[in-house]
Every structure is written in C-alpha cells, then in structure tokens.
Structure 1
Amino acid sequence: MTAAVALAGAATLALTPTTAGATTTGNNDGASVGGVQGHPADPTNWDCAAGNVCLYTGTGWQGTRFDLFYYQTYSLANWNGAGSWFNNQTGGAFMKITDASGRTIRSSYAVSREGSFDFNPAWYVTLCQSAC
C-alpha cells in the first residue's frame, strides 16, 4: 500500500459519517502514514487538536494516533482492520479517504468523526481547504 497514485480527477462523494461497525477481521498493528509520526492516543481527553484530521489504529479513538494537518494526500500502509478517525479541521475544510484506485470510501467536512471504520480498503487520506 505504499505506491503513489495521482488522485487528480477522482470522484468525490459527500457521505455522512456513521458509527457502523467495521467489517474487516485484520488489524492495524503495523499501520503507518507516510511522513507522519504516530503517538499514543488518549480517548478520554479528545486529543485530536483543532485543525487536524486524526487517524487512530483502534476503534473508539484508541491505539496509535496520526495527526494530519497539511492540505495534501497522505499514503497509508498496513491499515488492515478496524480503526477510527476524527476530522477536527476548522471552517469548510474537507477530508476524504480513498482506495487504491482513488475512489472515495468516506468523506466529511469538519467537524465529524467515526468511532469504528474499516480501513482495510483505504490507501490514501486527502485533506483539502474545501470539497475535493
């Protein structure tokens, strides 16, 4: 899952985040995000800083947290199971999670979150100033 793919012209779906359970049986033990250092999450403190999109290796905002801040596309590696995310950006900022072909799996405007999300098909996360 580390190969780069140009996402120009990828279709965008604006989906409402849900808390539906993930369907995968894998795990995110070796998960990483290109260029981003992971940190232990503190789900009791809502530790995703304003302006960030945070990805968590565990459900319920637990496990390792990756803080994404810049408007760009981030490559995911070894996200093979259920995790969670929090789009804590401000204003009209937007994020989308896409598969290897650039198809949108999930997208959201700030502020939204999903406590159980199947990252298995996810290869990229893109942050944009507005819908992208």
Structure 2
Amino acid sequence: MRIRSAAAVTMAGAFAAIGLLAPPATAGGNDNAGAWVTGGTVHNYCAVGDFCLYTGMLYSGRVFGLPNCTDYAMHEWNGIGSWKNNQTPDSYNTDAEFKDARGVVIGHAWLQYGAEPAVNLTPAYYVRPCG
C-alpha cells in the first residue's frame, strides 16, 4: 500500500489500515523484551542521520539506530514499540519502509511525520530506512 498524500490519509490512518497501529491498550511487560535488529546499533538516543526503532512505546526501551540504506532484519519484535525518523534528506530517500516476512512493503515511516509513539511492530520482519 503506497500512500503519499498527507492530506489524504494521516500517518495513524495509514498504519491502522495495514494493522501496524498500536491498539489503545497498554502493551504487556514482556513485549519486545528480546527484540533485536541485525546490523542495528544500540544507542541511548536517536542519533542525527539514523532511523531508530524503540522496543517500548513513547520512545522508551532499547534504541536501535539504523544509519544505512539497506534492509535490516527485525528479530523477536512481538508487540508495541515506536520509531523516530531522524535521517537527513541529503543523502538518499529518507522515507523508511516496513516489510513482512516475504519482503513485501506493509507500511511507511515518512520523514515528514518524524515519529510514531506507539506502533505494533509484530507484522514487520524487515525495515529499510531509505524506502
């Protein structure tokens, strides 16, 4: 599903349409407890130039910085997390893509939206910062 117009659909609406938006209920204590990203670097903050995944809602938990334009494999993401798109538009397309187990795009993280405080990352198996 490709949605390019911010006026047509909000980010929350786009993620809800494909099942990536978190439900209003709070995630359980063990959600994403064992989550990791192949090639991702664990940080204390989201560095400038990185697309970042957080294991918890509201930018909490472990932070995985993803600086390169490549597919990163997501392992053991089993619940609600969050993301920040802190990339700079100078080097490449900075709209990230989430992909399912087959590599099919199931959602986007557009730079203009900047961040999503609560998103169900269970269906995502890959993320590519430069979609």
TM-score (norm 1): 0.73
Contact kept in structure 2, 1:17 and 1:113, CA below 8 Å: no
Contact kept in structure 2, 1:56 and 1:83, CA below 8 Å: yes
Task: Give me the identity figure in percent.
Answer: 37
Determine the structure 2 residue equivalent to 1:18.
12
Instruction: Output the CA distance in 2 between the equivalents of 1:61 and 1:77.
Output: 18
Instruction: Output the CA distance in 1 between the equivalents of 2:48 and 2:41.
Output: 18
- Provide closer, same or farther for how the CA distance between residues 37 and 89 of structure 1 changes in structure 2, counting only shifts above 3 A: closer
Q: CA deviation at 1:108?
A: 2.8
Structure 2 residues not aligned, in runs of 5+: 5-9
Determine the structure 1 residue equivalent to 2:116.
114
Query: Which amino acid in structure 1 is aligned with residue 109 of structure 2?
Result: S
Match of 2:63, SS state, is: strand
Instruction: Output the CA distance in 2 between the equivalents of 1:108 and 1:126.
Output: 10
Deviations 1:41-90 (A, max 9, x none): xxxxxx32221100000000000000000010000000000000001112
After the TM superposition, which parts of structure 1 deviate over 4 Å for at least 4 consecutive aligned residues?
none
- Provide closer, same or farther for how the CA distance between residues 69 and 14 of structure 1 changes in structure 2, counting only shifts above 3 A: farther
Q: CA deviation at 1:37?
A: 3.2
Higher relative contact order, chain-length normalized (CA < 8 Å, sep 6+): 1
Determine the structure 2 residue equivalent to 1:38.
42
Q: In the comparison of the two structures, how many residue pairs are matched?
A: 112
Match of 1:18, SS state, is: helix
Structure 1 residues not aligned, in runs of 5+: 1-11, 41-46
Determine the structure 2 residue equivalent to 1:126.
128
CA RMSD of aligned residues (A): 2.3
Determine the structure 1 residue equivalent to 2:78.
80
Query: Which amino acid in structure 1 is aligned with residue 12 of structure 2?
Result: T
Instruction: Output the CA distance in 1 between the equivalents of 2:68 and 2:49.
Output: 9
> Hey, which of these two has a bigger chunk of helix by percent?
2
1:33-112 to 2 correspondence within 5 Å?
33-40=37-44, 47-91=45-89, 92-111=93-112, 112=114
Contact kept in structure 1, 2:41 and 2:66, CA below 8 Å: no
